[in-house]
Amino acid sequence: MTSFFSHLRLPRRLRPVAALAVAFTAAVLPASARAEQIPSFVQDGTLTICTNPTLPPMTFVKGQDVTHPEGFDIDVAQALATRWHARLSVITMDFTGLFPSLSAQRCGLVMSGIIRTPAREKSFDAVSYQDTALVVVGRKATPTLSSMDELSGKDVAVESGTSYVTRLGVVNDALIAAGKPPMIIQQYPTEEQVVQQVLIGRVFAFVSQDVELFYRMRQLRDKLHVLITPDIPDYRHFAIYIRQNPEDRTLLQNAISALDGDGTLQTFRTKWSVTDQSTKGGAAEAGTGGMFDWGAFFSALTSMAFLHGAFITLSAALISHGIAIIISVPIAIVLNSPQKSLLKVTLEGYVSLFRAAPTLLQLLFIWNAVPQFFPIFREQWFTPFLATILALSINESAYQVEINRAALSAVDLGQELGASALGLSRRDIYWRVIFPQAFRIALPPTINEFINLLKITSLASVISLQELLAVTQIQVARTFAFTEYYAAALIYYLVMVFFFLFLQKRVERRFSWSDRKKVVSNAA
């Protein structure tokens, strides 16, 4: 600094004053005039967020393109990315996978209309960006409540993975302490399913946030009614969650404050009607009434979103089952060997483990837990599709091993002895004698197992794979046309399953000559 003023040939006695003036000027300049520090969760010029696209108006899909969610949260995230000169990348997934994905560093922040609670802040940093309030909602004709105690003994629906269960648990503890029956809490995977339980009369009420309720009430044309808005201090703000880092939290807080100060957040609030249910901006698409909407049904049936979802479902099943067969054949050969060995014991443990563990748990473990041990699985190359292939291949191979073992055991031992007597090598015995016979036996149950796997792929929606069921749920959240969109998804599943059932029948007919009973009857 001194050499700079020397270069300007200022008198020596004025140089400290000039330096002080420069420092003061830098201090009072607005943040936008200085180079803003970038948070560490912005990696390689990309801000990656995890969100659940079934929570309008915070984040949802307005059209048929399920890869591009919109909403208040997406706009705020884009504004943050622009401020930090970054590209926005949005990863959509089931609500229950948001925080595990944040822990696994699959995304820099989680933003999906999530309440700021002390329990969550024990593990993550949070920055509030929108006021909200918890509401208990019922059908329009339901009388209002004066207190939460009046929910005693009633069925209440909530979205799984949210903090509502914990909050209602506190109310239940108080009810039990007062000698009253507790609420019966029913959990559902998505918010639109929660709302549907009230509409069809299965539950008395559901719990949500006022911001989301404004959208639902416009969408359902006043079929819902707020029963009570309890004053709960822990449920007053939506928050953006990041991994714990004081510097990043400060930078995020400063950015949100700046967006609030310059009116950006207010513009988004008006656009998406997050504060006033009577506002017409961002109007929701109305759901169908009591009659089946054939237009919505055929629109879903012929949409590119459903076709793409069905393609992903079929591809994941075919690839996973193909890999499972390749893995299972050598394992089945080893396990059918009469000799005991360490390898055989290890493979028996492998089969038992993956047959015992639920498929959903294996999917979640590979997607959320493995990256914490092996950082390479956090990279962009490890997509939900690859994670699904890995999980389903390992899981399915354990079942396919048992099919192959049974088929190999069904081949008469005399076949092997006879081939050996003819001087064939062990390799030729398997390839020319045992495998062809075992193949005929294993093929029908293998196709049956594939059909089962085709349906199991729907579990992959929890790790954000946009397969057929995930696409259906996203579209239902947008339109509330439950019957029409579920019926369209059912048609796709039926077409795929019936095709392979037909294939299975043809295969059984083709190899029916190997049926011992039929051979005997033909000989007679």
Q: Is residue 339 part of a domain?
A: yes
Q: Are residues 220 and 112 in the same domain?
A: no
Q: Is residue 445 part of a domain?
A: yes
Q: Are residues 246 and 228 in the same domain?
A: no
Q: What share of the chain is helix, strand, coil (3-state, %, to 5)?
A: 60, 10, 30
Q: Is the distance from CB of 69 to CB of 90 less than 8 angstroms? A: yes
DSSP SS3 for 268: helix
Q: Are residues 403 and 467 in the same domain?
A: yes
Quote the CA–CA distance of 62 and 70 in Å, as a whole number: 7
Q: Is residue 285 part of a domain?
A: no
Q: Is residue 278 part of a domain?
A: no
Task: Per residue of the chain (524 residues), give pLDDT as tens.
Answer: 444 444 444 455 545 554 554 444 444 444 443 457 999 999 989 999 999 888 888 998 876 666 788 999 999 999 999 999 999 999 888 888 899 889 988 899 999 989 998 889 999 999 999 999 889 999 988 999 999 999 999 999 998 888 888 889 999 999 999 999 999 999 988 888 898 899 889 999 999 888 888 777 777 777 888 999 998 887 889 999 999 999 999 999 999 999 999 999 999 998 888 865 444 444 445 454 457 888 889 988 998 989 999 999 999 999 999 999 999 999 998 898 888 888 989 999 999 999 999 999 999 899 888 888 888 888 878 888 999 999 999 999 999 999 998 888 887 777 767 777 777 777 777 777 777 788 888 888 898 899 999 999 999 988 878 899 888 888 887 777 888 999 999 999 999 999 998 888 887 777 665 455 554 454 44
Total tally of structural domains belonging to the chain:
4
Q: How many helices (H) and strands (E) does the chain have?
A: 21, 12
Phi-psi region of 186 (alpha: psi -120 to 50; beta: other; left: phi over 0): beta
Q: Domain range for residue 243?
A: 46-131+238-272
DSSP SS3 for 35: coil
Q: Is residue 85 part of a domain?
A: yes
Residue 269 CB neighbours (<10 A): 20
Q: Is residue 36 part of a domain?
A: no
Both tokens of residue 296? 């919505």
Quote the CA–CA distance of 129 and 73 in Å, as a whole number: 10
Q: Is residue 33 part of a domain?
A: no
Q: Are residues 151 and 180 in the same domain?
A: yes
Closest CA to 248 of 80, 97, 106, 380: 80
Both tokens of residue 298? 């055929």
Q: In one letter, which amino acid is 107? A: C
Residue 32 CB neighbours (<10 A): 9
The enclosing domain of 111 has a CATH number of 3.40.190.10
Phi-psi region of 94 (alpha: psi -120 to 50; beta: other; left: phi over 0): beta
Q: Are residues 339 and 393 in the same domain?
A: yes
Q: Are residues 376 and 519 in the same domain?
A: yes
Residues shown for the chain: 524
Quote the CA–CA distance of 396 and 231 in Å, as a whole number: 50
Quote the CA–CA distance of 64 and 59 in Å, as a whole number: 15
Q: Are residues 515 and 441 in the same domain?
A: yes
Q: How much is the CA Rg of the chain, to the nearest whole Å? A: 30
Angle (nearest 5°) at CA 453 between 335 and 506: 90
Quote the CA–CA distance of 356 and 106 in Å, as a whole number: 28
Quote the CA–CA distance of 205 and 89 in Å, as a whole number: 36
| DSSP H/E element including 217 | helix 210-219
Both tokens of residue 14? 């004025």
Quote the CA–CA distance of 353 and 480 in Å, as a whole number: 40
User: What is the pLDDT, as a whole number, of residue 154?
Assistant: 95
Q: Are residues 395 and 436 in the same domain?
A: yes
Q: Are residues 52 and 93 in the same domain?
A: yes
Q: Is residue 280 part of a domain?
A: no
Sign of CA dihedral 91, 92, 95, 96: negative
H helical segments located in 262-368: 264-272, 294-301, 304-336, 342-356, 359-364
Q: Are residues 147 and 186 in the same domain?
A: yes
- Spell out the residues 6+ positions from residue 11 whose beta carbon is closer than 8 angstroms to its own: none
Q: If you ran DSSP here, which 8-state letter would residue 45 be given?
A: T
Q: Are residues 347 and 410 in the same domain?
A: yes
Evaluate if pTM is beyond 0.85.
no
Question: b/e map of 459-492 (b: 16 or more CB within 10 Å)?
Answer: bbbbbbbbbbbbbbbbbbbbbbbbbbbbbbbeeb
Q: Are residues 430 and 378 in the same domain?
A: yes
Question: b/e map of 335-364 (b: 16 or more CB within 10 Å)?
Answer: bbeeeeeeebeebeebbeebeeeebeebbb
Q: Is the distance from CB of 189 to CB of 105 less than 8 angstroms? A: no
Quote the CA–CA distance of 406 and 56 in Å, as a whole number: 51
User: What is the pLDDT, as a whole number, of residue 13?
Assistant: 53
User: What is the pLDDT, as a whole number, of residue 29?
Assistant: 44
